[in-house]
Chains A and B, each alone.
Chain A
Amino acid sequence: DTEVTQTPKHLVMGMTNKKSLKCEQHMGHRAMYWYKQKAKKPPELMFVYSYEKLSINESVPSRFSPECPNSSLLNLHLHALQPEDSALYLCASSQSLQGSYGYTFGSGTRLTVV
Chain B
Amino acid sequence: RKEVEQDPGPFNVPEGATVAFNCTYSNSASQSFFWYRQDCRKEPKLLMSVYSSGNEDGRFTAQLNRASQYISLLIRDSKLSDSATYLCVVTIRGSTLGRLYFGRGTQLTVWP
Interface set of A (CB-CB < 8 Å, partner B): 31, 33, 41-43, 45, 48, 50, 55-56, 88, 90, 94, 96-108, 110
Contacts and interface: CB of A to CB of B under 8 A. Distances in A.
A41 B104 contact: yes
Interface of B: 31-32, 34, 36, 41-46, 49, 87, 89, 91, 93, 96-100, 102-105
B99 A45 contact: yes
A37 to B, nearest CB: 9
Given A56-B96, A98-B97, A105-B43, 12 more contacts: A31-B97, A45-B96, A48-B99, A55-B97, A97-B98, A98-B91, A99-B91, A101-B49, A102-B89, A105-B45, A107-B42, A107-B43
Contacts of A104: 46
B43 A99 contact: no
